[in-house]
Amino acid sequence: MRAVNDTAEAIRLRNVLADKLKRAGRIPSTSVEAAFRAVPRHLFVPGVPLREAYVDQAIPIKKIKGQHVSSLSQPSMIAIMLEQLDLQAGQAVLEIGAGTGYNAALMAHVVGESGRVVTIDIDDDLAARARAHLVSAGYDRVEVICGDGADGWPAGAPYDRIILTVGATDIAPAWRAQLQPDGRLVLPLDFRNTGAQFSVAFDAAGDYLMARSFEPCGFIRLRGALAQEQPAQNSDPEPGAAVGMAMLATVSQVLPKVGEQLWRRRMNRQAFGRPTLDGLQLRAYPCEANYMRKEGETVHDTRWTRFVIGWAPGG
């Protein structure tokens, strides 16, 4: 089914955005690039002016008590996570955080008719709207569920891939249980709850998950059973942090590339204690595995997970 409200101008704007993502090296895989060129993003944010729908920025969707609880993520960030996910045609994928349904449509494009996409949102109004957007854009084969993503969606398991497009501080047992033995889990994670969030791609590896890549990000946090209070803005452990942030903002305006590098170093240090993540080895065991820390490793326990941090020699 093709979208009826796709216009020549929307197609042009979409290709301009995709060209920009490509030039920036965000969409190296042809399947992700094709999805960005095909899915009509504007149909997922009806009411937003056409041009705004195709700017490389996040679009707020819903607030509760003045707090943003849903937004359509920035295309660059979506691209980074889809590349981390390494989704293939014919695969089954579960998304937690349906939002507008746009990312689910991109994934449906990548997996094709022989694949399967299930997406969950905790709010029934958002789930209903995501369903309507997906139908209008021609992706009615995506299954939209209203529920708490902490439980995954067992009826559709197992999944080759699970992706969260909402921030977590832990790895729920349901996500491990519903992932194929050779599956991949991608999620915005801040397991020490410091405010430094990274999109981490984990591969299933027997009784643990092994992290493969880390990309700094800033997603809205999970609500429901896995909700955890966000650290206060001024809880930064570094002395002089506020001055540092102000300087970083100024540098970023004048020299965006240098600003990004400085920001990455800051995030790396805040989350992992080092300015670069070269040699970082992060594993995630279920708590009941009772993994015993080895020399040179650091361990951090959350409710469900023992995170084990090690560094390869020379890292």
Print the SS3 string covering 209-239.
EEEEEEEEECCCECCHHHCCCCCCCCCCCCC
Q: Name the one range near ligand SAM by CB under 6 A: 94-102, 110-118, 170-178, 262-270.
A: 94-102
In angstroms, rounded to a whole number, what is the distance separating the alpha carbons of residues 290 and 172? 17
In angstroms, rounded to a whole number, what is the distance separating the alpha carbons of residues 129 and 164? 19
| Of 150, 167, 171, 165, residue with least CA distance to 221 | 167
In the complex with ligand SAM, which residue's Cβ is closer, 86 or 121? 121
Tell me the torsion sign for CA atoms 214, 259, 76, 18.
negative
Q: Should residue 170 be labelled a site residue for ligand SAM when binding is judged by CB under 6 A?
A: no
Max Cα separation, the chain?
61
Which one among 86, 121, 190, 215 touches ligand SAM, defined by CB under 6 A?
121
* Cβ 115 to ligand SAM shortest distance, Å: 17
Which one among 13, 87, 120, 187 touches ligand SAM, defined by CB under 6 A?
120
Q: Is 70 known to be catalytic?
A: yes
> Are 81 and 95 within 8 A, CB to CB?
no
In the complex with ligand SAM, which residue's Cβ is closer, 72 or 282? 72
Which one among 84, 91, 100, 197 touches ligand SAM, defined by CB under 6 A?
100
Q: Should residue 123 be labelled a site residue for ligand SAM when binding is judged by CB under 6 A?
A: yes
CA atoms within 13 A on the CB side of 76: 13
* Angle of the 102-111 helix axis to the 75-85 helix axis, nearest 10: 40
* Cβ 37 to ligand SAM shortest distance, Å: 17
Window 65-84: contact mask with ligand SAM (x via CB under 6 A): ----xxxxx-----------
Q: Should residue 99 be labelled a site residue for ligand SAM when binding is judged by CB under 6 A?
A: yes
Q: Name the one range near ligand SAM by CB under 6 A: 24-32, 92-100, 258-266, 277-285.
A: 92-100
In angstroms, rounded to a whole number, what is the distance separating the alpha carbons of residues 238 and 20? 35
> What phi and psi, each to the nearest 5 degrees, are found at residue 186?
-120, 125
* Cβ 260 to ligand SAM shortest distance, Å: 21
- Site residues, ligand SAM (CB under 6 A): 69-73, 96-97, 99-100, 102-103, 120-123, 126, 148-150, 165-166, 219-220, 222-224
* Catalytically annotated residues: 70
